[in-house]
Chain A
């Protein structure tokens, strides 16, 4: 009996991580909607420090990236690494530790942010006790993941695992280097780097947290689930090899484009521009690979909500990875920097790409894990249109707001005087902020529908027991 148990894929942990991911999505997006409302009605914090915009904003970003995003990556990573290795998870108890310890970090981390523990380094706001805990749990995540690969029965390591692997390794490197600090007390530390040097280190981290977590990690999801859902093998293996290494090499250089015209050496900025533009090539190589993989399965788009989400996510991936390099060019950046355009860009990635690829994957996975059909395909289709509309409305509002801010701030009249007062430009943003709030609400509504739909699909079901199939001798480890 024990022997049989050991051969069943560890899927309960996948279900649990999906549940956590969906819960974080609902919470973190709700916080986002609330702070969007605060920018329209600034008094709705009711004078409470824990409802104040500055404290809630990192709760929103950390909740989305580390709660929703990382839980989804752990879930899909654990699911796919078992399937692509034909073995069950290495050290399953350690995997469960990773699952719960991570949720605890995100939860307590969010509370600590409300309490005002904040390093103010973007996407690395959590204070040093959390940084240490994150490092430990992350290494355990790596042990489970690479341990599973090490005991695989299939000789080649499948493409998706390269991306999940890069996520684990590079994020560990970035996190450790950027978080170096001397503690003062449990809730306070001072960065090991100061001023301009700190800025360069922070954006090396910040940009690549986006690169290797929100781009690379989720590309792992694409490489496993897109071919699965479309029922086609990945279009070009050769292209995926080239795109992967070019991506790992090029992304890391692009950070300084967050610091254009700031007080850092000019060569660092210029290098950041060049590498950001080059980055378009590996980004779009993966896009081409994805689209070509689906290209003979378009008819499935009519019936399968999961595939709809994933194909749309690829479109937004293409958009965001084009917009990014453009915004990295100094003459564009001079307008876009410090404006809501940046916020729009981030959300075309986070809503259009990360959330949609994840939602599509969950719609595909949960019925399989539960062993029955999705509770409601109609609701899932409705969710698709809400997510699409919400994302479009959001980025259009922020484009309009951002481009006007950027141009109006820089506008000078014929005698060289500033054309507009900052306060007037700020006040003119209200319609856009209201539109953004509505967009967020629409997107949130869709996410809540999904949470209900997935809950009803899973309700009362146990994880289907799946065992690894026989290994094709041509690909076996002893071949």
Chain B
């Protein structure tokens, strides 16, 4: 029985064809995904990485809603130029509370993984309201509506923390109980800025040593 005679069996049988496609296409995924999904080091937080607070999480959800990730990556590659430009390269352990990951695929604007602490809150406020007021050639859109909306209206923060706890994020009962109060009086812009200011601060020198530095 040569190859083509064997193939005739598959191409004359609907069930065999379906099974064949499913089987052959599943192999690569299984080999790549299963080890990655069970690799503990990818789920272990870096020393300074902790779950997002209620305000940070709300800020992150606003970042998702406005889809900032289509123009800003959050992933510094271990290359000299990138480390010089943005700071220490990104480690897997810094992202264990990121659901979903937001590493991005395009840098129309700069990488934001280590944006935290680089500019003042006021700078961010001005920049979000009118990017060209602080960066003359910027092609970033303005986000005036963020200043007019209350952070508490962004979504049900108590539900969010509860769902994340179910997914394994170590929130305490107290954090969940206080979540709404934490958002009280803040605009969406405030929450987004709090998120931006904590971005990349989960890095610790300890991790850098552990991973043997840039290579």
Contact = CB atoms under 8 A, between A and B. Distances in A.
A54 B32 contact: no
Nearest to A409: B81
Contact of A271 (B11, B32, B39): B32
B80 A412 contact: yes
A308 to B, nearest CB: 32
A265 B143 CA distance: 37
A173 B26 contact: yes
A185 B61 CA distance: 13
Interface string A79-118: 0000000000000000000000000000000000000111
B75 A43 contact: no
Given A193-B100, A195-B92, A261-B78, A166 B105 contact: no
- Using C-beta atoms within 8 Å of the partner chain, give the interface range for chain B: 35 or more
Contacts of B43: 194-195, 197
B110 interface: yes
Given A173-B25, A200-B32, A342-B106, 17 more contacts: A38-B139, A38-B141, A39-B108, A52-B143, A125-B67, A149-B14, A150-B14, A156-B12, A165-B17, A170-B22, A170-B25, A193-B100, A194-B97, A197-B37, A263-B91, A263-B92, A264-B92
Interface stretch (A63-71, A248-256, A298-306, A369-377): A248-256
A47 B21 CA distance: 48
A264 B95 CA distance: 11
Contacts of A52: 66, 141, 143
B69 A184 contact: no
A309 interface: no
B11 A120 contact: no
A155 B32 contact: no
B47 to A, nearest CB: 16
A268 B90 CA distance: 17
Given A165-B21, A248-B21, A268-B36, A338 B159 contact: no
A202 interface: yes
Contacts of A162: 11, 17, 21
Contacts of B140: 42
Interface string B39-68: 100110000000000000000010011111
23 contacts: A39-B139, A42-B139, A52-B66, A58-B70, A119-B64, A165-B18, A194-B95, A194-B99, A196-B36, A197-B36, A199-B101, A241-B4, A248-B25, A252-B27, A262-B75, A263-B92, A264-B36, A264-B42, A338-B104, A338-B111, A411-B81, A422-B110, A423-B138
Contacts of A175: none
Given A198-B99, A275-B28, A170 B141 contact: no
A42 B79 contact: no
A131 B78 CA distance: 35
Chain A interface main SS type = helix
Nearest to A49: B145
Interface in B106-136: 106-111, 131-132, 135
A238 B27 contact: no
Interface in A238-288: 238, 241, 245, 248-253, 255-256, 258-265, 268, 271, 275
